[in-house]
Amino acid sequence: MGLRRRVLAIVAGQLGRPHGLVGRGVAVLLNRGNRQAVAGAVDATAATAGNTVADIGFGGGLGLDLFLGRVGSQGTVYGVEVAEDMLTRARARLATQIAAGQVRLVNGSLTALPLDDNSLDAAISVNTLYFVADLQAACTELARVLRPGGRAVLGIGDPDAMARLPFTAYGFTLRPVADVVAALKKAGFEDVEQRRLADVAIPHHLIVARIAG
């Protein structure tokens, strides 16, 4: 593998699972680059004070902060992440909120959520589906942990735009939005709505779905 390919593979690997010294910088960049998509996803959940919510694959932790602002001191924000270094970073940064029981951080993935059935009012996962091999399993897990009427918001970069980025050839799975919508409906979600964010560097789609009930 040539130098360029090695560098691109490293970039892709860090985006999927930030780690080490480079991962610290990646966390900052994720918060900055994903700000509009994450903020849009949190807003789309319509979470309110006292709700129990989750950011799955929270990366730099921006979604955790935004959710805390919505659910308040009586709510609970779960952060689910596969990258241990991101969990360690969030534990240090949110130590006060963790001690107060407002934030709970756990290791896990979209296809194996360490959460109880019907335990969440809302969940988001932004720019994580690229690293999920089994889309249907991920949507089924989301349906399992949400309460009846709960909302899930999945954020993905526009597949055509993402395909033009050089590093996405290394470990990214880029799926048509229609495939994500179909998987959500099969898992039991209804009122599936697609929203497009065009005023960002890479156009994004927010797929907002409500669990039946």
Q: What is the pLDDT of residue 171?
A: 84
Q: Please tell me the distance from the alpha carbon of residue 204 to that of residue 101, in angstroms, as a whole number.
A: 33
Note the pTM of the prediction, 2 decimals. 0.90
Q: What is the pLDDT of residue 160?
A: 93
Q: What is the pLDDT of residue 185?
A: 97
**Tens-digit pLDDT profile for the chain (213 aa)?**
576 666 556 655 666 566 676 556 655 656 666 789 999 999 999 999 999 999 999 998 999 999 999 999 999 999 999 999 889 999 999 999 999 999 999 999 999 999 999 999 999 999 999 999 999 999 999 999 999 999 999 999 999 999 998 878 888 899 999 999 999 999 999 999 999 987 787 899 999 999 987
| Per CATH, domain 1-211 is 3.40.50.150 | yes
